[in-house]
Structure 1
């Protein structure tokens, strides 16, 4: 199978990130099982990601960073955040994370040290086949605020769905199942602010295990 230049670069970046995760796991003397548990994956699914064979979703990277005690920027770039007082990231700039169903995340403050939130500009491409499938749900402890910049989306929160458009704002408990898709035949874009708290333990289906804290 032949890959384009962009595809090869993305595969190389994925392998570099996977190598950092493995190295940090070993440095922290954590087992595959412990990391699988922390990321809500089976040991086999986790190993496929740590080896670079499987795609690395934003939620997976976010949970790895939390468990390993590092900033997500360090996982992505190998460089620790160092800006203390304020950060300006110009339009069209930021740390790119292209993961999960081709969503493209652009982190808008990757090198601000000690930040209490994770701000992203997220491009959500329209996909016709997703209009006829259940929306993929993600889980990460904390809250998330999403402001729709352009396009229209269907937001799924557990069993409830809402259609939203430009200027609409969503704030929700991100520890519960949530997901979005672009609708109406056009790409969409949101500004998302993730406000993390301590993770609850997850089962292999990536759902919170009730009663475990």
Structure 2
């Protein structure tokens, strides 16, 4: 199965928290090195200063959402989970919304993700809608796996949830499942139309 994420999310002391600054910096540094890029190369491509990138990788500054977005694009890290910073926040009340069909689109070989309510840079869950384009297990290079837990609700179409430790699970509209996302998993559309699901990822 495919790793839609070439880099897994890291979990902190609190299982309900998104990656903290240290984990974010580590993900960026490892992705940069995996691509054979220097600090200068990456910073130039992302349109930021070398010293800023160095501080991000070493958890010496908290980057803005725009900088995170540019780094993710530069390093080709398209997983929705990686668009989070820390779940720690001093804001006691906040709100974000996404109008129908206006989420941010991210495509992978096996999914088309629509990120929802993604203007908030610190939150403890990641909601997104995915269209499952994979039709066979062979379309995945490896298992999809990352830290945390996931809830999935089938919106339309039919699909098979394939997991590392269980038999394939046939699912249809209205069905839902909750699972440990560290367990290898992947979806395959089995209906004539591509299946569509709502995903909520927790504790990244």
TM-score, with structure 1 as normaliser: 0.54
Residue among 131, 143, 152 paired with 2:149 = 143
How much does 1:179 deviate? 1.1
* In 1, Cα distance between equivalents of 2:128 and 2:192: 23
Give 3-state SS (helix, strand or coil) of 1:26's partner: helix
In structure 1, what is the equivalent of residue 187 of structure 2? 180
2:104 corresponds to: 95
Contact 2:165 2:183 in 1 (8 A): no
Alpha-carbon distance in structure 1 between the residues aligned to 2:139 and 2:114? 26
Between the aligned partners of 1:162 and 1:18, the Cα distance in structure 2 is 46
Who is 1:85 aligned against?
Answer: 94
Secondary structure, aligned partner of 2:100 = coil
Residue 175 (structure 2) aligns with: 168
What is the RMSD of the two structures over their aligned residues, measured on CA atoms?
3.5
The answer on whether the counterparts of 2:131 and 2:197 sit within 8 Å (CA) in structure 1 is yes
* Partner of residue 125, structure 1: 133
Higher relative contact order (CA 8 A, sep 6+): 2
TM-score, with structure 2 as normaliser: 0.57
Distance in 1 between the 2:107 and 2:44 partners?
15
**Is this contact kept in 1: 2:161–2:188, CA < 8 A?**
yes
Q: Per the alignment, do residues 180 and 141 of structure 1 end up closer, same or farther by CA in structure 2, a change over 3 Å counting?
A: same
Q: Which runs of 5+ in 2 are unaligned?
A: 1-41, 59-71
Question: What is the alpha-carbon distance in structure 1 between the residues aligned to residue 105 and residue 173 of structure 2?
Answer: 23
Partner of 1:27 in structure 2? 55
More helix by share: 1
Segments of 5+ residues of structure 1 without an aligned counterpart are: 1-15, 31-48, 72-81, 198-213
Aligned partners of 2:107, 2:123: CA distance in 1, in Å? 22
Contact kept, 8 Å, 1:135 with 1:179, in 2: the verdict is no
CA distance in 2, matches of 1:136, 1:18: 31
